[in-house]
Amino acid sequence: MSKSMDEIKAVNPSLAVKLDTKYVVTGTPLPSCLAPRESAEVEEKKDDRDGGGGDGKKKKQGMNKKRPRDEKKDRSTMICKSVVRGTVCPYEEGKCKFSHDLQKFYDERPKDLGDRCYLFDTYGFCTFGVSCRWGKCHIEEGTGVNLNGSTAMPSKMKPLIDFRNKVYIAPLTTVGNLPFRRIMKNFGADITCAEMCLASNLLQGQVSEAALLKRHHTEDVFGVQLAGGFSDQWARAAELIEKECPDVDFIDMNCGCPLDIVCDKGAGSAMMNKPNKMKNAIIAMANKFSGPITVKMRTGWDEKKPFADTLTAKIQSWELPNVAAMMVHGRSRLQRYSKLANWDYIGKVAKNLDAHAEANGVRRIPLIGNGDIMSWRDFEVRRREGVLATAMLGRGALIKPWLPDEIKGKVDRDISATERLDMLKDFVNYGLEHWGSDQQGVNTTRRFMLEWLSFLYRYVPVGLLAEGRDGVQRMNERPPLICGRSDLETLMASDNGQDWVKISELLLGKVDDNFKFAPKHKSNSYTDNGGGSRNGGGNDTQG
């Protein structure tokens, strides 16, 4: 029992001194937490009573089965989640253990614990619907129908972006930096998107992650790509972008990154396996971000079991007004960038979306195909097939940055080595402007240029292609060893990293004797069967 102050002084004088007596009334029992422990003899007797060791046996940890528990409710008195969500119950009629009588459950539901539901206020919906103890604010009075999915959009909504017939530069990890995007704008790109940004890192205040959100004023339509595994991450990251980056036009939801370190956190391609989590994330972002949202995914997890056709139709059925477009990369998560993109399957996805929209009377969400577009002919073929709302360029833009010009002009440009060196000069100038002209800025600019050169060397000039190729260079073909029309052209075609360093020295001066460079992206995707490269350059780049 609790002890008075006098008793405490008698048993434990030091404790009595530590207590501020001006807040204690003499003779008043103190809280048990301030009372001295009972003697060891008493404690031992209590252990004997509790079965904690009186018989010499050590009490097993985690075996307290006598602790109080909540009484289990009869499932027949609980509402089926499918009824709450307005979907079809997966069990046959009469075999579901939960109640399907929504009206009865509504009439008998207990009084709410409060006026506002935190989940509904935060995300614009509450999946618990009529069973929510704060549900009055998001269920229809008299019927119990949940207002789940009604997105409370920001007051000033930015209009949806028309992606049709635009040249869109995909978010490219490492190499899709601001100076590179400026180069792409010089060559006619319409839409640019920053490289993948991890929502968790952004929310932790990492400067390197926040720098990815920066836009250059020459970028006409600019988006940022986010990757995350939880709705609260998406919501808070979208809110941060809304407040701190008002010049961001759209957010691209990454559901396609194949990297283990991303997927293991439930982000990237792992999001494709959780449609409900994806829906919750989209709605959560819509409540915090006034611009449109796009969703980028792959064909599926395994190339033998693609499911992007059903997933895109499901997203379309949600009728979320802020979803401006969906992108499908023509490879599965396990493929990464090996083998050719499956454009036949992307065509199937497009036709399925057409049929779904017509049958259900819902808005047809534009579909953007992605993968292996390396020439204007590739784009024209896809567009004639009715697959592309626009062209999304990834590695093709890294190898041929002038590809947007070729697509718009329907021409094959034979870019000389001198023109490419001038392009690299522009990149250096943009890099020094962006990263700084001190030694650290020079080092950063050099390394990003070397990363780009690990792709750029794969370009084979049109004038050196074999006859009958019609100026077509294919993505997964291993670039041949060529003897250029000039020493500079030969140097630029080298797959040796030391030659890339020599090119950087033409623009940024000599490197230190201890300077080393290894490209971040190793390629295994030059041939149709996934053959390896001679030195690397271009694999996991697209976010």
Active site residues: 257
By C-alpha distance, which of 506, 477, 478 is closest to 491? Answer: 506
Burial class (CB in 10 A: 0-12, 13-18, 19+), 479: middle
Angle at 269 between CA 266 and CA 272, to 5 degrees: 85
Cβ-proximal residues to 31 (8 Å cutoff; 6+ apart), any chain: 2
Residue type at 162?
D
Between CA 128 and CA 135 the distance in angstroms is 8
Residue whose pair of structure tokens reads 């993109």 in the numeric block: 341
Task: Render the burial of 442-467: b for 16+ CB within 10 Å, e for the rest.
Answer: bbbbbbbbbbbbbbbbbbbbbeebee
Between CA 337 and CA 541 the distance in angstroms is 9
Please give the DSSP secondary-structure letter assigned to residue 66: T
Angle at 291 between CA 285 and CA 294, to 5 degrees: 70
The H-assigned helical ranges of 161-264 are 178-186, 199-203, 207-210, 231-244, 260-263
Residue type at 240?
L
